[in-house]
Amino acid sequence: MTDSISFDRAAPYYDCTRAFPDDVMERLIPMLTRELPPGERCLEIGVGTGRIALPLMREGIRIVGVDIAAEMLRRLIDKAGGSGPPAAIADATRLPFADGTFGSAIAAHVLHLIPGWRTAIDEVTRVVRPGGVLVASRGASTRTEWQHQVRRRFFAEAGDPPWPPGINRIEELDDGMRARGAAVHELPELDREDLASINDLLAALEGGIWSACWALDEATRQRAATATREWAGRELGDLDQPRPTLYSSVWRAYWLP
């Protein structure tokens, strides 16, 4: 049993709600490829449906993936059609690999889901050889004020469920990795701009597509969305007007001693 957040429930819709736009992928994949020692195996913890693993494999990176969600791995295998990475159902806090098996590891949008994230980074630093690298991102953060305001209001109306169970800010991981003797390298931030309306954002929150909403039952989400719509109509104006959105994806490379 694990107390991490499994994405089994999100497997059917993960790829259509979480895909990075092409222009972000065109910057992200070369940026990650440059950090990963060539020719050596790279472990992705929380590999999911292979959003990052499959494009990296096309660049020649020898990915091995683990995840606690069998349904996410099933999607990965189906999508890869026989050319996917070796993948196993395994918890990042108990990795089934010998010390120093990998030249590198990736933790993309996963450590916020793991209450025992410190144990997970102990495990990653155990299975990556000395001098290897962990490349990690906490996840995309919202950068426009209206998105912040609407999200904050929605979760306040829903009773502010505790979130996230794992790391909240990438700086917590920086500190954890420094304490393990790693050198911290900030990678260029990847921004994604788009347009969305308040109703678009509230529909996603009400529909429970993000893991931050999974502690809320459907009735609570509906009540919070209705109350937030009323508030936003008064305070922010037209709920259907397209407004600029900005998501920033922050990445680090941690070089092990």
Ligand X SMILES: C[S@@+](CC[C@H](N)C(=O)[O-])C[C@H]1O[C@@H](n2cnc3c(N)ncnc32)[C@H](O)[C@@H]1O
Q: List residues near ligand X by CB under 6 A.
A: 2, 4-7, 45-48, 51-52, 66-69, 72, 91-93, 108-110, 113-114
Q: Least Å distance between CB 219 and ligand X?
A: 25
Q: Which lies closer to ligand X via its Cβ, residue 36 or residue 113?
A: 113
Tokens of 149: 């305001």
Residue 67: CB minimum distance to ligand X, A: 4
CB of 2 or CB of 142, closer to ligand X: 2
CB-nearer residue toward ligand X: 92 or 135: 92
Task: Report the residue number, 45 or 133, with the smaller CB distance to ligand X.
Answer: 45
Phi, psi of 160 (to 5 degrees): 45, 65
Smallest distance from ligand X to CB 226, Å: 28
Q: How far is Cα 42 from Cα 106, in angstroms, rounded to an integer?
A: 7
Of 66 and 182, nearer to ligand X (C-beta) is: 66
β-pairing verdict for 128-142 and 183-186: unpaired
In this structure, the number of other CB atoms found within 10 A of the CB of residue 165 comes to 17
User: In terms of DSSP H, where are the helices of the chain?
Assistant: 14-18, 22-35, 53-58, 70-80, 117-127, 145-157, 170-179, 198-207, 218-235
What is the smallest separation between the CB atom of 176 and ligand X, expressed in angstroms? 15
Q: Smallest gap, in angstroms, from Cβ of residue 8 to ligand X?
A: 7
d(CA 43, CA 55): 14
